[in-house]
Amino acid sequence: MFSWLMAKYYDYMLRDAEEKCLKDWRKILLQDLSGDVLELGCGTGANLAFYPNTINHLVLAEPNLSMQQQLDLKLKNYSHLPASVLVCTAESISTPDNSFDAVVSTLLLCTVNNPALALSEIHRVLRPGGKLFFIEHVAAQNNPERLKWQKRIEPFWKILQCNCHLTRDTEANILQAGFIIQKINRQSMRGVPAIVRPSIWGIAEKL
C-alpha cells in the first residue's frame, strides 16, 4: 500500500528538492559516466535525464513492482539510452563478479535492509578500479540536536517512508566496504524536512 503510494507520488514528493539542488547534483555526478553502468534502486527513473551518451550499457535495477511501472512509463522518453531493466535488490545483485565499470546509488542506501551487504555486493560486481557514484542523505553527525530528532522520528519515518532510515553513517559504511572516497560533497538537501537534509554525494573507487 505505502509502496504503491510512494511510487505514484515519488516524483511529486521530491519536486521541490529536485529543483533546489538534486537535479544539479545528479547532473554533475553522472556527467562523466562511461562503459557498463548499473543503477541500483533506480525507482521512477529520476536519473535517466542525466545519463551521458558515453555509456555503453545501462542496467536499471529495481525490486519494487510499483516503481518498475513508473520507470517503464518514463523509459519510453529515453529510447536513445542503451538501457535494460533488471529485477533485483542491492543485497543480492544477479550479475557476475567484475561486470560493471560504475554503479549508481542515489537515495538508496538509506532504504536497503542491509547497507553493509549491499555495499559488499556493489564492490563484488564492480571491476577493479570501478566506481560507485552516490547521493545519500545521512545521519547529522555534526549536529547533535538534529541527530537526536532523527533518532526519535526514525522508527515512524521508516514505516511511512518505505524503510527509509535517517541515521545511517553511509560514508563510514562505504569506507568499510573497501572503497576509497575520491570526491565527496557534504551538503544540505534543500526542499526536504530538516531531518532528511544532511547529505553526501560523490564518487568512491573500488580498491
Ligand X SMILES: C[S@@+](CC[C@H](N)C(=O)[O-])C[C@H]1O[C@@H](n2cnc3c(N)ncnc32)[C@H](O)[C@@H]1O
Member of 38, 67, 139, 195 binding ligand X (CB under 6 A) = 67
Q: How far is the CB of 173 from ligand X (least distance, A)?
A: 14
Q: Does 42 bind ligand X (CB under 6 A)?
A: yes
Name which of residues 13 to 32 contact ligand X (CB under 6 A): none
57 close to 36: Cβ distance less than 8 angstroms: yes
- In terms of Cβ atoms closer than 10 Å to its own Cβ (0-12, 13-18, 19+), residue 203 is middle
Nearer to ligand X, 88 or 175 (CB): 88
Helix pair 65-75, 2-13: axis angle to 10 deg: 40
Residue span 91-130 as binding mask against ligand X, x where in contact by CB under 6 A, dash where not: x--------------xxx--xxx-----------------
Q: Does 35 bind ligand X (CB under 6 A)?
A: no
Cell of 154: 526514525
Q: Does 37 bind ligand X (CB under 6 A)?
A: no
Member of 21, 25, 33, 64 binding ligand X (CB under 6 A) = 64
The number of residues that bind ligand X (CB under 6 A) is 18
Member of 33, 48, 90, 174 binding ligand X (CB under 6 A) = 90
Member of 30, 43, 60, 132 binding ligand X (CB under 6 A) = 43
Residue 162's region, left for phi above 0, alpha for psi from -120 to 50, else beta, is left
Nearer to ligand X, 87 or 172 (CB): 87
7 close to 70: Cβ distance less than 8 angstroms: yes
CA nearest to 25, candidates 140, 186, 157, 161:
186
Q: Tell me how far the alpha carbon of residue 71 is from its chain's centroid.
A: 15
Q: Does 83 bind ligand X (CB under 6 A)?
A: no
Residue whose cell numbers read 572503497: 179
Nearer to ligand X, 56 or 163 (CB): 163
Segment interacting with ligand X, rule: CB under 6 A, options 34-42, 168-176, 179-187, 190-198: 34-42
- Name every residue whose Cβ is closer than 8 Å to that of residue 81 and which is 6 or more positions away in sequence: 48, 51, 55, 58, 75
Q: List contacts with ligand X (CB under 6 A).
A: 40-43, 46, 62-64, 67, 89-91, 106-108, 111-113
